[in-house]
Amino acid sequence: MSDRGRRSAGRGGAGRAAAARPFQYRGRELCCDGASLEALAEQHGTPLYVYSAEQVRYRFGLFQRAFAGRAHTVCYAVKANSSLAILRMLAELGAGFDIVSGGELERVRRASKRALGRVVFSGVGKQAWEIDAALKAGILLFNVESEAELGLLAARAEVLGARARFALRVNPDVFAETHPYISTGLREHKFGVEIGLARAIYRRAARSRWLDAAGVSVHIGSQIRAVGPFAAALERVAGLVGELREDGHRIRYVDAGGGLGIDYNDPPAKPAFDAARTVAEYAAALGEAAAGLGAVHLLVEPGRFIVAQAGGLLTRVLAVKKNGTKTFAIADAAMNDLIRPALYQAHHEILPVKQGRGASVPVDVVGPVCESGDFFARDRRMPRLKAGELVLVLDAGAYGMSQASNYNTRARAAEVLVDGVETRLIRRRETLKELLAAEIL
């Protein structure tokens, strides 16, 4: 780290209130917990993902405190941001992990072998090798999505001589107001099984000595801002748990899923979004819905809520051009680095690293990829940008790097973790040699 970076990192980063958003102007320069973004760009180049360790710890702690009154495990959704450094940090805090692939299982293993016993394995298309790896790892629970998958799980458990704990993921047919691509709780979705069919499936599963019906799982979608749908889904699950116990099943776990959303429009300088209050309301709603469950271990799977606002995508303006009445600021980051605006029409606030003083003007902030859908903002009012300036795309800590690609044969960005007075490179920038290494002529 450069001397300038050390000095910048030391400007009060560790002493800030953890509840504050990590990206704030100090003087007229945008910083992450006191670390200079300009210095980080100078040292590591752009595009660059920058994360606040302090914010990740704070957000995880909100869930731990909110659910402290009952047996629970906060299983971080690895798909949101699968950085090994972030996974290790969360494992050290006692997090469990929600995974959806054998690759994510290996990430947890490399981050913390001790955390493997706190893993729940979700996903609609588990393969035999993935199930084998999870059984050998001794994971906590398989969230099973179909009766066919349950049969495969029993077969692989028998081959390995390992009894498999499972929770059937039920579809409660609860509507959650969110983007249709990330809504999962209706009967027309590919996820889970119809809740009315679950009791019979559990009865058939009881015939196998290799299956342990340990729980029930539900997940209704992502980026859900109201707590009502979560409570409604869990109430339906609670009714099913009562029936299953009547049938003699020893249900010990209820997985309430994840999906708690954030406010992507919230300005970091004066945020209206109260993360602590949101988590408290969420925990209270789940607690009330689960009140009649008795001795049950509650699993929750936050992902976006923990990491989204802890991260930003730092990018440099390559050029500014006009086409008719439109002004375009062309950045060196693109849709391959952050696909959410193109895929979900998602809004992300964008701030210049050097705070502008002039009047704001409408501008499209776009990338260099050969797609009209390669944009971060359209007709966004911002101070006039010039070539060479740095801007930060906010709230990019979730589903940013984890959804990055090599489209247009572009190398993926580097990642930096800001932790108190230290900044640390946690993923180096991909090279073209690495990008082409797997190909055969």
Cβ contacts of 25 within 8 Å, gap of 6 or more: 31, 269, 355
Active-site entry in 31, 32, 75, 370: 370
Structure tokens at 124: 């609609």
For the question of residue 75 being annotated catalytic, the response is no
SS (H, E, C) the chain: CCHHHHHHHCCCCCCCCCCCCCEEEECCEEEECCEEHHHHHHHHCCCEEEEEHHHHHHHHHHHHHHCCCCCEEEEEEHHHCCCHHHHHHHHHCCCEEEECCHHHHHHHHHHCHHHHHHEEECCCCCCHHHHHHHHHHCCCEEEECCHHHHHHHHHHHHHHCCCEEEEEEEECCCCCCCCHHHECCCCCCCCCEEHHHHHHHHHHHCCCCCEEEEEEECCCECCECCCHHHHHHHHHHHHHHHHHHHCCCCCCEEECCCCECCCCCCCCCCCCCCHHHHHHHHHHHHHHHCHHHCCCEEEECCCHHHHHHHEEEEEEEEEEEEECCEEEEEECCCCCCCCHHHHHCCCCCEEECECCCCCEEEEEEECCCCCCCCEEEEEEEEECCCCCCEEEECCCCCCCHHHCCCHHHCCCCEEEEEECCEEEEEECCCCHHHHHCCCCC
Write the CA distances from 246 to 51, 216, 237, 240, 241, integer angstroms. 48, 15, 14, 10, 9
Active site residues: 370
